[in-house]
C-alpha cells in the first residue's frame, strides 16, 4: 500500500479511455496482421519469428501512444520497454498475452494493460480480440465486459469448482506444477489450462472459472487481470498474507479462495 491520495476521477477517466483505445488498436493490429497460415509456415525463418515481430509491433504501438498522450508516465512492458516517468503513473503492458495460442490460432490471447498510480493498480483493460470481448475495471468501480458489469460465481463446494491454471516453460518447474495438479484434480470438478493468465483472471471475474492459480507470473501477466477479478468480487493473493506475484498467484470466488490457497501452500505450489 502507499500513503498517496487516490487519483482524481478525472485522471482515472483519462487513463481508462487511453487504455481502452490502446487495447483496441493493438488488438486490431494483432488480429488483422496475423498470417492465416502462421501455425503451418511463415515467410521468416520460423513461425516464432513472426509472433515475436507481432509482439514487438504491438508493444511499440502501445508505448508510442503513451509517449504521445502522457509523456511523463512510466512504462513496464514484457518486450523490454521500461521507463520510470515522473507523473506517478506507470503502465504495465503485456502486448500479446498467450503467444503460443496466437501462434496456433487458438482464441485465448489478449492485450493486457494496467495503469498504476504510485504503485497501486487503478485502471485495467484486457482485450480478447478472438472472442470479441474487452474487460475493464477502475479501482472501486467494479468490473465490466463490453459495457456490462460482471461478477465472479457464487462459491460452490470445492468438489464442484472449476479451476484454471498454467505451466511454466522450464522442465523442472513443469514437473513440480504437474505434481500439484495431480493432487488437486481429485478434489475439484475439473481443471482447465487455457494458456493466457490475463484471460484466465478475466474468466474468474465473469464466472467462467471458479478459481485460478499459477506460479511464475510476471507483473505484466497479472496486473490488469488481478484488478478486474478483485473488482468482480473475487479474492486474490499469493502465499497466505501476500499479494499475487511470481511465487504464486491465486484468484477465486471467496469460498473457493479460502479453501484453495491453503492447499496450494501445503503442497508447495509456490516453489519448484
What would you report as the CA-atom Rg of the chain, rounded to the nearest whole angstrom?
A: 18
Same domain for 145 and 163, yes or no, is: no
Residue 1 in domain:
no
Which pLDDT belongs to residue 43?
43
Tell which of 88, 115, 150 closes a domain. Answer: 150
Angle between helices 197-205 and 219-231 (to 10 degrees): 0
Same domain for 127 and 214, yes or no, is: no
Which cell numbers hold the place of 202?
A: 478475466
Same domain for 14 and 144, yes or no, is: yes
Contacts of 52 (CB under 8 A, 6+ apart): none
Which pLDDT belongs to residue 39?
56
Calculate the CA 207 to chain-centre distance: 16
Same domain for 132 and 243, yes or no, is: no
Residue 76 in domain:
yes
Same domain for 14 and 78, yes or no, is: yes
Q: What are phi and psi of 113, to 5 degrees?
A: -130, 130
Tell which of 150, 169, 187 closes a domain. Answer: 150
Same domain for 137 and 103, yes or no, is: yes
Tell which of 128, 150, 172 closes a domain. Answer: 150
Same domain for 183 and 253, yes or no, is: yes
> DSSP string of 178-216?
HHHHHHHGGGSSEEE--S-HHHHHHHHHTTS-SEEEESS
Residue 4 in domain:
no
Contacts of 159 (CB under 8 A, 6+ apart): 187, 188, 189
Residue 169 in domain:
yes
Domain with 100 in it: 9-150
Furthest C-alpha separation in the chain: 53
Other residues' Cβ atoms within 10 Å of the Cβ of residue 167: 17
Which pLDDT belongs to residue 47?
65
Mean pLDDT per 10-residue segment, the chain (272 residues): 82 98 98 75 55 91 97 92 92 96 93 97 98 98 98 98 95 95 98 98 98 98 98 98 98 98 98 94
- For the entire predicted model, the pTM comes to 0.95
Count of domains in the chain?
2
Same domain for 142 and 202, yes or no, is: no
Residue 3 in domain:
no
Same domain for 172 and 223, yes or no, is: yes
Which pLDDT belongs to residue 135?
99
Same domain for 61 and 180, yes or no, is: no
The whole-angstrom separation of Cα 131 and Cα 109 is 9
Contacts of 250 (CB under 8 A, 6+ apart): 211, 212, 213, 236, 237, 238, 244, 257, 260, 261, 264
Say which CATH number the domain at 237 has: 3.40.190.80
Which pLDDT belongs to residue 57?
93
Same domain for 89 and 132, yes or no, is: yes
Which pLDDT belongs to residue 44?
43
Which pLDDT belongs to residue 52?
85
Q: What are phi and psi of 229, to 5 degrees?
A: -65, -45
Amino acid at each position: 500500500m502507499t500513503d498517496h491520495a487516490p487519483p482524481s476521477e478525472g485522471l482515472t477517466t483519462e487513463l481508462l479511455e487511453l487504455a481502452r483505445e490502446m487495447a483496441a488498436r493493438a488488438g486490431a493490429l494483432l488480429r488483422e496482421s496475423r498470417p492465416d497460415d502462421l501455425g503451418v509456415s511463415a515467410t521468416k525463418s520460423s513461425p516464432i519469428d513472426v509472433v515475436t515481430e507481432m509482439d514487438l509491433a504491438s508493444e511499440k504501438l502501445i508505448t508510442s501512444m503513451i509517449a504521445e498522450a502522457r509523456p511523463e508516465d512510466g512504462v513496464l512492458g514484457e518486450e523490454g520497454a521500461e521507463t520510470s516517468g515522473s507523473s506517478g503513473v506507470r503502465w504495465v503492458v503485456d502486448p500479446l498475452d498467450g503467444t503460443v495460442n496466437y501462434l496456433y490460432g487458438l482464441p485465448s490471447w489478449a492485450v493486457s494493460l494496467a495503469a498504476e498510480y504510485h504503485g497501486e493498480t487503478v485502471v485495467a483493460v484486457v482485450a480478447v480480440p478472438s472472442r470479441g470481448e474487452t474487460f475493464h475495471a477502475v479501482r472501486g468501480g467494479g468490473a465490466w465486459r463490453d459495457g456490462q458489469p460482471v461478477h465472479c460465481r457464487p462459491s460452490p463446494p470445492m468438489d464442484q469448482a472449476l479451476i484454471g491454471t498454467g505451466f511454466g516453460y522450464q522442465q523442472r518447474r513443469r514437473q513440480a506444477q504437474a505434481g500439484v495438479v495431480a493432487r488437486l484434480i481429485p478434489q475439484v470438478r475439473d481443471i482447465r489450462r487455457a494458456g493466457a493468465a490475463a484471460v484466465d483472471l478475466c474468466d474468474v471475474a465473469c464466472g467462467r472459472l471458479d478459481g485460478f492459480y499459477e506460479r511464475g507470473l510476471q507483473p505484466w501477466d497479472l496486473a490488469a487481470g488481478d484488478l478486474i477479478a478483485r473488482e468482480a468480487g473475487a479474492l486474490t493473493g499469493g502465499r497466505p498474507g501476500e499479494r499475487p506475484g511470481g511465487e504464486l498467484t491465486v484468484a477465486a470466488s471467496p469460498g473457493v479462495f479460502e479453501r484453495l490457497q491453503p492447499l496450494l501452500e501445503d503442497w508447495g505450489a509456490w516453489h519448484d
